[in-house]
Structure 1
């Protein structure tokens, strides 16, 4: 009966969190549709490039700390190590400040020499991206800490509800006024609204932190955090931002109208992926806490994979039945991209079958293997894009995305199940 109540409660929280994600994702899709219909599909394509630059820089300039925030928060919380948690938070703040300066330089170089687009003034665009990066790194780190505290609703509210709805309403107001907006101005608007979301989550974050502000971390502890976080820069680029990397790569060889098609298909795939993320967000903190207490976690992982696989099959069936109709909302040229959408959705099925492998490896303090494997997959995929595009058009880019994800996930899954999880519990590093 206890297990049944637990599953019922989990299902209820999943529906509420997924409902919030669907509302937010729906607002994002409507915003993309509004940009394409009101201003142009070229404007949408250039805006997606700016968003991709910002998203990638957030991963690089955060130092990987927001990717390990949940596992370390759950670990220190389970063992009541509040001084170490405070030290972890302070170290992440220092990395974010350094990363912001780095983001301004990288974006300036890319905009000046990497693109032949009318993004003027370039310096202003670089500063906008840097501001977006600092806001984004703060938002996602605080969200990861809140998930570690099992406050998933507060962790998701600013990102999934506040930001997309305010962005959609603001765009609608500009469209109603008949104002001409460039991609840079739309990105500036998004950055301002993202700042509002960041202030909201910061409020939740400060309330969740322990009252004590003692910092018991030392130089060795900070070195351990840096060693754990750094490989996640590459891993997160591949797992969470492989979409943006493909959009940037496509921007070098594909016309803006085709980039818009890829952008829309990827957005639908990401929308479907929100449900999978919600499942893992709800179930992983319990796995992390059990592992920190040296309890068996194999049955918890298998249950998580079973739930994820069932969800992935439902997603693929839904895309097959409704995908063409959903794509046609953006215009007749988008309706012909159903095959691309179905190809991309294969990545969701792989994640459902094999589970959140990178997060589980991180739980076992295995950070470097996944970085090496996914780096190799990233290089192979980006190298193959020009050849795949010549052979199959933009569908080739979708295949590069799916195959590289599947191969990397399978290798890491074998490493997790055949090597890492077979080690005795007593041999683990104390949490």
Structure 2
């Protein structure tokens, strides 16, 4: 089987599972909007956005480098080092969780959010963040151990089923506020249980790593050198729209926020289809780099980038056609989100075409090189929201997002080309293929 077919087939299975789970999640959101109203859906999306942002901070960046170090330690047969990495990462999650429980209410009050939906449901929000952080970490590690299905299925399949069950039970309450609170508590308990089972899969998977060396005392310095910049990169890229929703919470009405929130969730689903390609090929890429096989590394990056770009274009076309019908499930007022959603998905095409620059920079020992352009992208988002949202509303929010994503994607491509001497864009794949054809003839 060719590398393109293998990447496409495996990533399609992962994306198919995510698509099925997302269908349940969208149905949950549609039911909330229809039964409890768009305002409650807006509050629910704010809760989920906050949970995601807290969760990504809890492992202190170790989930963002878990795939890299898991693949490296597996390739080198360093089980003891791998277990030391896991213990440190899980310790971060539990430690930050305790700090959140102790200091969270005080921080919310200081920020003037003492009466917000987050303060009213603080404990389930903290529990959800704990379960989410553990699943993020587990997924990264399992992908590095070449178990992407086990890595992603907790979040893509089991969580949506649990959320749907929680909603159906909560609909038995006659008052929307009581039902919403019950749903959050049930989701929190359910996801913590799922995360605990997921941790068990990681523990069992340590047997896949050979044990041929001892623990290196100073290895933790490498972990931190990569983790610290990557937690900022991940926060600003993978959770870009969670940040955006919080920024827009004071500029849009709750109904508009709900519409844009649904659009961003659909975008996140589409972007997962691209991320699945890299999830399949990342362990092989890391092994090539660990074995100093630069030619193989560049070839695998190019192949993954080509498949990811094709998938992103196909998803963009699909969204342009299907978005109006999908959004109508939430109610007639959500139909105005079709055009902004198409703009957001065009941003995915741009990001895919520019390639995995941050990943390449980190592998070439330049993890901090990404930060200036990631910061520039977030700054562009803030300025764009300030300039465009008051006059253009939802379309202004979408245009601000695509401008910001374009700024950092092109910037990261340029810095990777300049510092790592590697073109990670789709153009490099075409140049390589053309050179191969010329050489063959």
Deviations 1:335-355 (A, max 9, x none): 122111011112210222122
1:126 to 2:131 alignment? no
Distance 1:232 1:79, change over 3 A: same
1:172 aligned partner: 168
Q: Answer yes or no: is 1:43 the counterpart of 2:40.
A: yes
For residue 313 of structure 2, what is the aligned residue in structure 1?
313
Aligned 8 A contact 2:75 2:287 in 1: yes
Cα 1:43–1:422 change in 2 (3 A) is closer
Q: TM-score, normalised by structure 1?
A: 0.90
Distance 1:421 1:82 in 2: 33
Instruction: Sort the Cα spacing of 1:93 and 1:215 in 2 relative to 1 into closer, same or farther, 3 A.
Output: farther
1:364 corresponds to which residue? 364
2:21 counterpart of 1:24: yes
Give the gaps of 5 or more residues in structure 1: 424-431
Gap change, CA 1:216 and 1:202, over 3 Å in 2: same
What is residue 379 of structure 2 aligned with on the other side?
Answer: 379
Separation in structure 2 between the aligned mates of residue 360 and residue 402 of structure 1, nearest angstrom: 23
* TM-score normalised according to structure 2 size: 0.88
Following superposition of structure 1 onto structure 2, how do residues 199-210 of structure 1 map, counting pairs within 5 Å? 199-210=196-207
SS class of match (2:64): helix
Going from structure 1 to structure 2, the CA distance change for 1:272 and 1:91 (only over 3 Å counts) comes to: same
* 2:266 paired with 1:268: yes
Q: Deviations over 1:144-198 (max 9, x none)?
A: 1110011011111111100101211221233256563454443322212211320
**Residues 101 and 130 in structure 1, CA contact (< 8 A), matched pair in contact too:** no
Give, in angstroms, the shift of residue 372 of structure 1.
2.8
Provide structure 2 residue ranges, at least 5 long, that are not aligned to the other structure.
424-441
Whole-angstrom CA distance in 2 between matches of 1:107 and 1:182: 24
Task: Determine whether 1:88 maps to 2:85.
Answer: yes
How far 1:330 moved relative to its partner? 0.8
Comparing 139-148 with 164-173, greater Cα deviation is found at 164-173
Q: Matched residue pairs, number? A: 419
Q: C-alpha distance in 2, partners of 1:121/1:322? A: 33
SS in 2 for 1:336: helix
Alignment check: 8 A CA contact 1:235 1:374 kept: yes
Q: Cα–Cα, structure 1 residues 255 and 422, in superposed 2: closer, same or farther, change >3 Å?
A: closer
Distance in 2, Cα, partners of 1:117 & 1:326: 36
Q: For the residues of structure 2 that align with 1:385 and 1:413, how far apart are their CA atoms?
A: 24
Distance 1:53 1:213 in 2: 40
Counterparts of 1:401 and 1:341, CA distance in 2: 11
Aligned to 2:156: 160
Instruction: For residue 83 of structure 1, report the CA deviation from its aligned partner.
Output: 2.3
Closer/same/farther in 2, CA of residues 87 and 236 from structure 1, 3 Å limit: same
